[in-house]
Structure 1
């Protein structure tokens, strides 16, 4: 197995933290991004920096220059970036009407625009070397929009849309774009419930406004019952890296709770999607 240069975002906790360790132990060179490495994430940055084959970079995902500088630093030092894992994510819940424009913008800036910032920066180098892998971590909510996770789902739909179209655009250039769809796991993000800003809106919804808390409690119980392990997501990332170029699936579901019906949706849509591409004169992209 050839050793690769792997850039992973959102490595201060959860899937990113586990992926950075798991990929590095295989001998790949990992560049792990997180923000505020001298502040609230200082301990995490120090611990991760002590891992062999890992270099921590302080990157603000919502800042074009910060992302551009990080990618330039890696390419200048290593000559290439072989794998980009867009893992960083942000979740917020509540009745949709309670989201301000600022709330929606913040969600999309992290979940959609930040991945795109990295994609734009790594694609030229990947095209030049005619090889590369981009893994975008979305969610089962990137395929179905549950009530009270409406805006979060919309942002993950957005990342899925960017990923799916791009997958076919760059595949013939030697670049694979893969979507990873995790379900509910006991990560720091899932254990911190953040609600939209306009809490006063909840009052107008009566008993309906109590449902988001019930939903989060139900998710917590399902996680306990199924004993979901976030390492499964890190392992799925490794499997995609190890899979031969051109043979990586567009979508990979990692979800022991609701994964079966998300996978069913994916398979059904793939058939119709293929028909659509053919209908619009792009059937050759399916090869």
Structure 2
């Protein structure tokens, strides 16, 4: 197995933490990025640096200079960057109208603009190499917009569009850009949920305003009963890294609870989109 130089964002918890450890255990060189490595994430950073093949790098996905500095550090040390895993994100739940423009900007800044900043910083190096892999962590909520998490869905729909377009644009350059669509898993993201700050609108929704809290309780019960394992997402990341270039699927669903309907949607859309690209003279981009 060829050893890769891998950058992973949001490694202080959840899928990022698991992916960093899983990739490092296979001998890949992992640059695990997170914010506040000397403050609230100091213990997580220390734990990762104690693992073989992992180096922790301070990086804030909302700060362009932070990103370019981190990637410059990797290039200086390694001479290349083979894989980027855009995992850092914010989850949001609540009545959509309660999210102000600032609330939405904060979510999109992390969940959409953040990956875009990193992609733009990494792509020049990958183009020079003629090789690279970018994995964007989306969600089944990037394919279907579940009620009461509309701002989050909006961000994931954007990641789907960003990734799908790039997938075809960069394939001819030797760079694969792909998605993973996880379902709901018991990770720390649910403990850092964003909510709308304009609570004045909630009264106008009556009993509907109570539904987000009820959904949260239902998700907790589902986790307790079915125990979906977040390691499945880390395993999917490893599998995509190990898959030969040009053979990686655009979308990989990882959802042991409700994954079948997402798989069906992906299959149907891929088929019809192939007809669309062919009609517009871009059949060669299908691979």
TM-score (norm. length: structure 2):
0.98
Q: 1:83 matched to which residue of 2?
A: 83
Report the secondary structure of 1:173's partner residue.
coil
Q: 1:11, 1:224 → 2: CA distance?
A: 24
Alignment of 1:3-42 (within 5 A): 3-42=3-42
Q: 1:58 matched to which residue of 2?
A: 58
How far off its partner does 1:141 sit? Answer: 0.3
Q: 1:263 matched to which residue of 2?
A: 263
Larger mean CA deviation between 272-281 and 23-32 belongs to: 272-281
Q: 1:192, 1:55 → 2: CA distance?
A: 25
Report the secondary structure of 1:135's partner residue.
strand
Q: 1:124 matched to which residue of 2?
A: 124
Q: 1:244, 1:88 → 2: CA distance?
A: 25
**1:158-215 superposed Cα distances (whole Å, 9 cap, x missing partner):** 0110000000000111111110000010100124443211122111100011111111
Q: 1:247 matched to which residue of 2?
A: 247
Are residues 95 and 228 of structure 1, via their aligned partners in 2, closer, same or farther at CA, if it must alter by over 3 Å? same
How far off its partner does 1:153 sit? Answer: 0.2
Q: 1:67, 1:138 → 2: CA distance?
A: 20
**Contact 2:90 2:192 survives alignment (8 Å):** no
Q: 2:160 matched to which residue of 1?
A: 160
Are residues 228 and 277 of structure 1, via their aligned partners in 2, closer, same or farther at CA, if it must alter by over 3 Å? same
Report the secondary structure of 2:33's partner residue.
strand
**Contact 1:186 1:230 survives alignment (8 Å):** yes
Larger mean CA deviation between 7-16 and 208-217 belongs to: 208-217
Q: 1:84, 1:90 → 2: CA distance?
A: 18
Report the secondary structure of 2:36's partner residue.
coil
**1:89-148 superposed Cα distances (whole Å, 9 cap, x missing partner):** 101111110000011001001100000111001111111111110000010000010111
How far off its partner does 1:217 sit? Answer: 1.3
**Contact 1:184 1:190 survives alignment (8 Å):** no
Q: 1:216 matched to which residue of 2?
A: 216
Q: 2:274 matched to which residue of 1?
A: 274
**Contact 2:59 2:66 survives alignment (8 Å):** yes
Q: 2:178, 2:107 → 1: CA distance?
A: 22
CA RMSD of aligned residues (A): 0.8
Q: 1:275, 1:92 → 2: CA distance?
A: 35
Structure 2: stretches of 5+ with no match in the other structure: none
Alignment of 1:99-110 (within 5 A): 99-110=99-110
**Contact 2:90 2:194 survives alignment (8 Å):** no
Report the secondary structure of 2:60's partner residue.
coil
- Number of aligned residue pairs: 287
Structure 1: stretches of 5+ with no match in the other structure: none
Q: 2:110, 2:92 → 1: CA distance?
A: 12
Q: 2:186 matched to which residue of 1?
A: 186
**Contact 1:226 1:256 survives alignment (8 Å):** no
